[in-house]
Structure formats: structure tokens, C-alpha cells
Amino acid sequence: MKHTTLFILALVSLLRLQAQTYDNIAFDNRTYVNGLTSVSLTPVSVPLGYPLITLGSGEQLCLSYDDLEGNDNRYLKYTVIHCTHDWKPSDLNPFDYIDGYTEDEFTDHSYSFNTVQSYVHFSLRFPNEMLRITKSGNYLLFVYDDTPDNPILTRRFMVKEPEEAIITGEVHAASDTRYRFTGQEVDFIVNTGRYVIRDPARNLRANIVQNGRWDNAVIGLRYRFGKPGEYSFDYDENENSFYGSSEFRMFSLKSLRYNGDRIASIRYDGKGYYALVLEDIARPYGAYQGSTTLRGKCYWENSDYSGENREDYVMTRFSLKCDFPVTGGNIYVFGELTDWQIQEDAKLEYNPATNYWEAELYLKQGIYNYQYVFVHDGSTEIDATYIEGSHWETQNEYGVFVYLTDETSLYDRLIGVGYFNTVRGR
């Protein structure tokens, strides 16, 4: 009787998910309700790593976020959706890639302790014994309130094959002489090993991601030349090139007792904490300046007190000095602190009283990397060179993800992953 009940519940959840068209969500990293912040999806064992695990390895991903509105009465559920290499829903049935329940409850939460800003902290580790993944490829984690009609958040992640193709490569100055000093080119060779590829021009593709940022990723790159078992993705006309931009700026809010790195002041006004980041200067034409960064990432930590959920939130002001007129668009604070997206709260406004461009973000205690980007009027393209400039020497990390279309089941398997950093030297 018990097994019959479990089967019926699983069947009901499957039928509901099959009927879902997902028109109400984006197949990207998004939140759909107010008050959710500090969202992270990383491997349990690599807190700053790409959201990537190996199929059948027992590895887990950890989703975490804070709800500043204290909503702990939602009936949270989650599922995973298999995607193509270019992040569209695949044709696979959930039972084709999920072993166990096709959706599960999401109940693990805790409360902030001795913070001015109260919040509920949610966390989820998966895959788990209730929901196991059986196929490699791209996936979307979908969290919702009771039914998929009430989305909470979506996050991209990847599952790679346990036996990988070998990827070798390098990052160097762009081959195109127009971008020799500003661009970075990612050239690599894929040795497919045991994978037999009958039609590589059609079935073999690669994605290149800079610092975990999806908006400027190269998607679906095909090999340029090769022989059976060895395929080169060495291009010379910017198909695999990126602007290097400049090293990320940083600051530390780990402590509210003293000013951390690049913090000019911290104050408490009886209602909340306020911090002022040291002034920044636009650097579109400056020489390259090296520094050690988190490549746009951030992590949360309270160095004043130990224990879970002790990090408070701080209204943090950014100020940028530009010695040239800014017209035809808007400047934004950008990085993992804005979910690698353009956010209206992160838009800088000109303050004639100070002659600075300013913005305020409500941030959790920790260490942050960031940069200033520009979006031209009428465009959605993010320009990280307008304020920051661009240099081929900048230390960026590139993730290369290689996909093989399975000719029998017609889904994109993730058969190889490689990581490459900028090489100093042409």
C-alpha cells in the first residue's frame, strides 16, 4: 500500500510538471518575488566554484538565499529541468533524467541571530535520495511556492559525464590586431577519447563563459578543424574572444566595528548600518594595473562574531568620479553582488553637490568584487569597457563546456569541462 501511494504521488507530480509550459520563468538566474537576496548556488565542496557536479559521483550543490521579508510560511518545492546546450528546455521527459520524485519539498531554513536586519536563511542540498539526476547536461533549478505557477527563483547548473573528454588550451591576446591590447582569445583542443562522434560538425559544440557570467558567453561554438578524436577550436576572427576589461574593484564589509579594506566609514543610526566605499575613478584609458581579485565574485562573512546567520545587512554607497561627460546611457554597479545582471537599484545617479555618480546597495556582510558597466540607451548589451577600460593582461577565468548531442536520445551530454586563466605573455 505504501509503495502504491508513493507511486501515485510521483505520477501526479510528473503529470503536473509535464503540463507546465514554463512560460512564466526565464531559463536563467532570476528571482521572482521581492525580498530575496544573497542567492548562491555552488558545489558543497567548492563554495566559490561553478555550479557543476559529476554524474553519479555523490557530489551535491548547495542553494542558499535570504528572505528579508521573513516569509517562512511558503510551501516551497523544487524541481530540475533538463536543458539543451543553449539553455532551452530539452525534449526529455522528467522520468528520463530524474530517478525518484520529480519534485520535492524545500524545508530547510533558519533565522538570523542578533542582527539589526532580521531575515530567514534558506538552504537546499541536491541531488539527494529523494531526487537523483541520471543524465548529464545543462539544468535549471526551479523553486516555487506550492505549484509551478508561483515561481520563487531559477538557477542554472550543469552535470558532467564521469568519463570526460580532455580539453587543453590557453588564453592569450586576441589574434585580431584591432583588439590586440584589449581582447582575450580562448583557444582550445578537445580530445574526445572514448566518445565516438559521427557527425562532429553537427553534434559537437562548446560554450565559453567568462568568470561565471552568462550575458556575454559564447554559446554553441563549433570546431574549426580537426581529425577523428581531436577537434580544434582555434579561431582568429573573434568567434572565441572577449574584452579583458580591468581587474575587479573590491571592498570588505566583514566587520562593522572597524573599516575594512576600501571602506571609508561605517555608521549606525539606530535603524541600520551604513557604509561608504572609498571613491572610485573611471579608468577607460589608463594603463593595466594588476591585483588579486575574486574575479567578480563575493562571499559572506562576519569577522566580529562567530556562528551561523550572524551577518547583518549594510546600506552601502558607491561613488564614481568621471572626468568626461556620461551621455547616451546609464552606469551600473555590476558583478555577482548584482547576480551578474543589470539591476535598477544598482544604477548610478549624478550628484551635482559632490560631482560624483552615486548608487546604494543593501548588502550582506562579506567581501565583494565589483565593476562599473555601461548600458547604452535602447540596448541590453553590457559594456564593461566604457568606465573600466580593457586590457588583454587582465586575470579572467574562462570555463569551457563541451557538449555532444546523443544521436539516439537526442539530448546534449556534457562530455568535457576545462578552466583557463589569462596567460601572461603573448
SS3 17: helix
Split at pLDDT 50, 70, 90, the class of 320 is very high
If you search the block for the grid coordinates 546567520, which residue do you land on? 309
Which H helix or E strand runs over 96?
Answer: helix 94-97
Split at pLDDT 50, 70, 90, the class of 14 is low
Distances in Å between the Cα of 14 and the Cα atoms of 7, 20, 97, 171, 377 are: 10, 10, 12, 44, 44
Residue 142 above 60 pLDDT? yes
End-to-end CA distance of the chain: 69
| DSSP β-ladder status, 356-364 and 349-351 | antiparallel
The overall average pLDDT reported for the chain is 93
SS3 344: helix
CB-CB neighbours of 354 under 10 Å? 11
- pLDDT score recorded for residue 146: 97
Residue 143 above 90 pLDDT? yes
Which H helix or E strand runs over 6?
Answer: helix 2-19
- pLDDT score recorded for residue 39: 98
Average confidence (pLDDT) over 355-362: 98
Q: What percent of the chain has pLDDT over 70?
A: 94
Split at pLDDT 50, 70, 90, the class of 224 is very high
- pLDDT score recorded for residue 426: 39
Residue 260 above 70 pLDDT? yes
Residue 407 above 90 pLDDT? no
388 with 283: CB under 8 angstroms? yes
Average confidence (pLDDT) over 374-392: 97
Which H helix or E strand runs over 397?
Answer: strand 397-405
Nearest to 205 by CA among 188, 181, 221: 221
User: Domains in the chain, please, with CATH?
Assistant: 2-160 (2.60.40.10), 166-244+394-421 (2.60.40), 249-376 (no CATH)
- pLDDT score recorded for residue 13: 53
Distances in Å between the Cα of 144 and the Cα atoms of 25, 119, 153, 347 are: 10, 19, 7, 29
If you search the block for the grid coordinates 566604457, which residue do you land on? 386
- pLDDT score recorded for residue 272: 97
Residue 71 above 60 pLDDT? yes
219 with 85: CB under 8 angstroms? yes
